[in-house]
Chains A and B, each alone.
Chain A
């Protein structure tokens, strides 16, 4: 089993399966119990499906079933194959983790359970540092 030190993110980020969806402007922390807007870009590498979803996962998850909460990813209107789309999902405050000291990340999961994008990590904090 490889350790973290052995593996760094691939240089060919664009062609890696895991960077087909890019999460935009992810903050270092969010307020618990406040609505959270998650912005992401579907690159032309991905063909979205109505049963694709965006989950909030605790960092260190091992399968797509380990999500904390999720929302269906809306299909882009007038979808054209191999185009790039910016999407937003809004998580309701009461579905979000509390200020528990854990790190979370967004992941984009296809209807087949494949991970196509993972965000940088964030925490839920009642008083966010400047």
Chain B
């Protein structure tokens, strides 16, 4: 029936949405980590430059 089809399509969309939401969270966490690493390395580099 079309009712069941619409439930199926909604279920599949929710499945995809939940997974993409989880991945977004992981990606944001990695983005944050990489920005921090970059800042640390830039600070280290400018520190080295000041000494020379």
Q: Do A and B bind each other?
A: yes
Q: How many A-B residue pairs have CB under 8 A?
A: 62
The 8 Å CB contact of A113, one of B5, B14, B16, B20, is B5
The interface-forming segment of A45-53, A61-69, A79-87 is: A61-69
User: B residues near A, CB below 8 A?
Assistant: 4-6, 8-20, 23
Q: B18: which A residues are within 8 A, CB to CB?
A: 8-9
Q: Describe A's contact surface by its main secondary structure.
A: loop
User: With A4-B17, A61-B9, A115-B8 given, can you name 13 additional A-B contacts, CB distance below 8 Å?
Assistant: A7-B14, A9-B14, A18-B8, A18-B12, A57-B12, A59-B16, A60-B13, A103-B16, A105-B15, A114-B5, A115-B9, A118-B12, A121-B15
The 8 Å CB contact of A120, one of B5, B6, B11, B16, is B16
Are B8 and A114 within 8 A (Cβ)?
yes
State which size class the interface on A falls in. Answer: 20 to 34
Chain A residue with minimal CB distance to B30?
A: A129
Contact with B along A1-43 (1 / 0, CB 8 A): 0101001111000001110000000001000000000000000
